[in-house]
Amino acid sequence: MSAVRLPVLLSVLLLQSVSAFVEELDDSFKETRQPDDIWLIQFYAPWCVMCKQLDPVWHQIGSELRSLGSPVNVGQSDATVSTGLASEFRVRGYPAIVMLKNRLQYNYVGPRTRDGIMDFADRVGGPLIRSLSSLQLFQHAMSRHDVMFVYVGATSSLKGNYTSAAEELIVHTFFFSTSRNVLPKAVSLTSLPAVVVFKDGTYFTFDEERDDLKSWINRERFPSYCRIDSYTLYAMGDSGKLVMLALVEETRLSEQSMRYKGLVEKVAAEHRETYSRHFYFGFMEGSDYINGLVMSDVIVPSFIVVNLSIDGYFLPGGLMETERHLLDFLNGVLDGSVQVRVDSGPLQTPPPHVSDGDDVFQSQGGNSIAQRARRFLYDTRAMLAPVFSQAPLLGCFLLCFPLAVAVSFCFLCVKVRAAMRDEDADGVEPSAPSQQRKKKLSEKKSN
């Protein structure tokens, strides 16, 4: 018996030791927290499935940050109990993850994984701008980051703008500073100070005469071409740029998928000057997320341009087999030569291809009231479909119960109104409150 209980006892002790690094917070936290403290907080609800899945990961993060000597304190709060605290931090969904630093709040919008949250804690909890004092440190940072922003030069007004942009955009990317003699000799800068982004195996310099620094950083914070998941796509939407996607299979890519990926990558690399200001380029494995946006089953492989700022999308009007076809598609999106359609029809079968120069591109989607209603119905159907297939009785209950409640409520309202009309018709004396209201109205009229 003791041999059986020993592993259980050890598991309990381990859980308690890990839980000691995560503090449970309530509404009193607003008065007791210190201004210089850095807090990473998860707001959860007891009934939230994703919160329960995140719970062991969250305690692991608390333990790891403590063991690394991080200044970040880790806490969690039941938003259904500590409603004042949740309201202060504008919690709208669960689990919500925020970091408090220097009286500023940073919201985490990435994947609910250990690596994603630890990277967020390291980025936001550390120095706002990290100094690179040697070529070795610079090369080490380059090996760790696909995209890296670096301020080069002495203190200036540009450095102030760079710091201001970092305060807002640190949730998305790292910011560094260095001197000219630290950079590799291959990096050529025409003047100092300068802000440089290193990505795609090369570098690009910020042009103060053409761009706003914060907007430029927001546009350049992704590689020109990369693998894109739903979280990355959502973040790209905040930049205001469109996203050119090649949708491919999740496993065992077909020859056509490989060709589509190659086309998008080639255009991203060879036509950067033309399209990088307006487009991100990449590929997405599977079409589940896009199906929800389009509200239909998108064929794979295929192309699509997504505008996340309005939940809209563009589909090519024919087959896309060559680089010229893809360039015509992008140009059609940019110059507005599109056939605007509000409805969303089935997309399983693409229309027949027409001759070069005559392609019709379709702009669809959007966030109008009608589109939101359609998307709500689509999401509801997509959510209930697996329930009906696996547990038909439960699916019927989930569908019929709200309808029964709504019908009962409407029936009661109609019945009450009918009873009130019958009372008036039969000459029933009005109730005391009704008499008082009529008396006040008559007094007002006489006055």
The set of catalytic residues is: 48, 51
d(CA 192, CA 150): 12
CA–CA distance, 326 with 357 (Å, rounded to integer): 12
Token pair 């109990």: residue: 81
Q: What residue type is 421 in one-letter code?
A: R
The CA R_g of the chain, rounded to the nearest whole Å, is 29
Distance CA 359, CA 319 (A): 10
Distances (CA, A) of 59 to 17, 55, 69, 118, 280: 10, 6, 16, 12, 36
Burial class (CB in 10 A: 0-12, 13-18, 19+), 393: exposed
Retrieve residue 390's tokens. 């696996």
Q: How many other β-carbons are positioned within 10 Å of the β-carbon of residue 8?
A: 9
Distance CA 147, CA 198 (A): 6
Helix axes 392-425, 369-390, angle to 10 degrees: 130
Other Cβ atoms within 10 Å of 286 Cβ, number: 15
Instruction: Work out whether strand 104-108 and strand 96-101 pair parallel, antiparallel, or are unpaired.
Output: antiparallel
Give the other-Cβ count within 10 Å of 75's Cβ.
18
**What element of type H or E holds 211?**
none
- Closest by Cα among 282, 265, 276 to 230: 282
Q: How many residues does the chain have?
A: 447
- Output the six-digit token pair for 377: 């119905």
Distance of CA 309 to the CA centre of its chain: 11
Alpha helices per DSSP H over 240-282:
255-270, 272-275
What count of other Cβ atoms lies within 10 Å of the Cβ of residue 218? 19
d(CA 126, CA 144): 16
